[in-house]
Amino acid sequence: MSIRALIALVLVFAWLRGTNKGIATQSSALKAGWILTWSDEFDGPNGSPPDAKKWVVESGGTGWGNNELQYYTSRHQNLRQERGNLVIEAIKEKFTGFDGVQHNFTSARLKTEGRFSQRYGRFEARLKIPSGQGMWPAFWMLGDDFSSVGWPECGEIDIMEHSGSKLSTIYCALHGPGYFGANALTSFYSLPSARFSESFHIFAVEWEPQELRFFVDGELHASKTPADIPVGKRWVYDHPFFVILNLAVGGNLPGSPDDSTVFPQRMLVDYVRAYSPK
């Protein structure tokens, strides 16, 4: 190899490391026999919004069905691309939204509804999630018939939820008709000796017609099948779902922030990718 080619190779490797998109993260799913069908690598200019061709940014402060405290905005303070990541930032501030109500926190939420949905496959994201009392980051999916049949009939797949006070634990869950909310099919995964907020982790689900398997950093930690749902209830994971990312503040799962909670809090998204089987 010539010196010029070697220098070019070193520069490419340095760029990959700088954007947090190392070679291992690019190839893990491909080696397992998946075909990439959709992705966002969040490589836009610093300060730019997410790609409007891929994402719908939601706004509002109605509690979002969970008694959440934040008002979601599309402002760059709460949502922007930065150094190869999407930044979702929760801020403690006085903010009056379109509802005319003053809220004490702002954050961001975005979805692929109307832009991308898929039935079956592998869905993964490389995230660095925040921690702290009252923080509630999530990477999840809803059935694309949500607008017509409502929730929970549309189905919900929670790939990763984190109650910020439980520093080493994340949740995955399925919500459907007759098994939702506190009665959802929920599993937990805990790091042996670290906090999730300390580094990036890859959260994924592999979805087949009769099974969903959940992974953290390539480790299988939960599996759900029709045998797990209550007798007489419907398995609704047979149609396309769309992707959602959000960082909530307060709500039914984590409770409210307290004096120990530090703001602002950031959820960093290195990438989101969807695959189909070969």
28 is written with which tokens? 């893990």
Cα 261 to Cα 13, 91, 133, 164: the distances in Å are: 37, 11, 6, 9
**Is 156 a catalytic site residue?**
yes
CB atoms within 10 A of CB 149: 13
DSSP 181: G
CA-based nearest residue to 173, from 189, 162, 157, 153: 157
Distance of alpha carbon 87 from alpha carbon 78, whole angstroms: 8
Catalytic residue chosen out of the listed positions 89, 161, 208, 211: 161
Catalytic residue among 41, 68, 113, 156: 156
- What is the H or E stretch that residue 27 is in? helix 23-31
Exposed e or buried b per residue across 49-70, where buried means at least 16 C-beta atoms within 10 angstroms of its C-beta: bbeeebbbbbeebeeeeeebbb
Residues identified as active-site: 156, 161
